[in-house]
Amino acid sequence: MQVMGIDIGGSGIKGAPVDLEKGALAVPRQRTATPQPSTPQAVAEVVGRMVKGFDWQGPIGVTFPSVVQHGVTLSAANVDKAWIGAHAEELFRQATGLPVTVLNDADAAGMAEMRYGAGRGEKGVVLLLTFGTGIGSALFTDGVLVPNTELGHLEIGGRDAEDRAASSVRTEQDLSWKQWARRVNRVLEHLEMLFSPDLMILGGGISKDHARFFPYLKTRTRIVPAQLYNDAGIIGAALAATERVETA
Ligand code: BGC
């Protein structure tokens, strides 16, 4: 079965039809720069064009880098503030004329990793973190997602975890992998203390570079890199469209 997945981020919007038997993109993805300012209208237009470009007819899953409850985006850390309170699902439905499911980007990546990647068959408490512009989180217990955990905004030492240890901070502040890993480790140790996870999966843009910083991480919890790299969001979005996540 194929479902279209679209992954919206602060800098790019990526999408492709997904083969859900294989857990992989059915055809190469398309990428468009996120419009600036990233207003709901401007982003919805890009989504509409992308769906038309694939000549897609069928359900669509869309990720968004914010809290998403019942199709409504409730925060906007790294996107235009007009998204706060916007009915994202309805907006994308109108722009595409197709059924749309919207969910948090890290939750989508986590769902994909649990089904097809680093979390496959993992029981107990699994915490996936994505390191990119911000830090996203997805928390699972026996494979069931607790949506919208937003642990990147956990305050550590008086600042949001993502303001210290997002991947974007490493590049902006020109930190060495070792310096950055020390910050990541502090976040991981704090989360470990709060949630006692059985496994932590580190994903997002940095999953490919895991060999450069994993050796510096010192948690007692098992840590593994995500396996689906940049496609996790697209694949998870498609998966969510078939399994509609209930966000109570
Ligand atoms: C947002 C989250 C998102 C994460 C990764 C954070 O700033 O609040 O909703 O999952 O960035 O994009």
Residue ranges of the chain that CATH labels 3.30.420.40: 2-107+231-247, 120-227
Provide CATH code, domain 2-107+231-247: 3.30.420.40
Closest ligand 1 atom to the C-alpha of 9?
12
- Is it the case that residue 103 has pLDDT exceeding 90? yes
| Confidence class for position 57, pLDDT limits 50, 70, 90 | very high
Mean pLDDT of 38-62: 98
Pick the CATH number of 120-227 from 3.40.50.170, 3.40.630.40, 3.20.20.80, 3.30.420.40: 3.30.420.40
Report the separation in Å between the CA atom of 139 and the middle of ligand 1, taken as the mean of its atom positions: 14
Rounded Cα gap, residues 185 and 20, in angstroms:
34
Question: What whole-number percentage of the chain has pLDDT above 70?
Answer: 98
Q: Which residues line ligand 1 (CB under 6 A)?
A: 65-67, 75, 77-78, 104-106, 130, 132, 134, 136, 150, 152, 162
- Neighbouring C-alpha atoms within 13 Å toward the C-beta of 197: 26
CB 160 within 8 A of CB 153: yes
Distance 10 CA to ligand 1 centre (A): 10
CA-based diameter of the chain, in Å? 49
* Identity of residue 163: D
* Residue-wise pLDDT tens digits, 122-181: 999 999 999 999 999 999 999 999 999 999 999 999 999 999 999 999 999 999 999 999
**Residue 31: what are its φ and ψ, rounded to 5°?**
-135, 135
Q: Is the pLDDT reported for residue 248 higher than 90?
A: no
Q: What is the pLDDT of residues 188-202, one digit of tens each?
A: 999 999 999 999 999
Q: For residue 18, is pLDDT > 80?
A: yes
Q: Output the CA 177–ligand 1 centroid distance in Å.
A: 22
DSSP 39-72: -HHHHHHHHHHHHHHTT--S-EEEEESS-EETTE
Task: State the pLDDT confidence band at 78, using cuts at 50, 70 and 90.
Answer: very high
Quick one: which atom of ligand 1 is closest to the CA of 137?
Answer: 10
Ligand 1 centroid vs 31 CA: distance in angstroms? Answer: 20
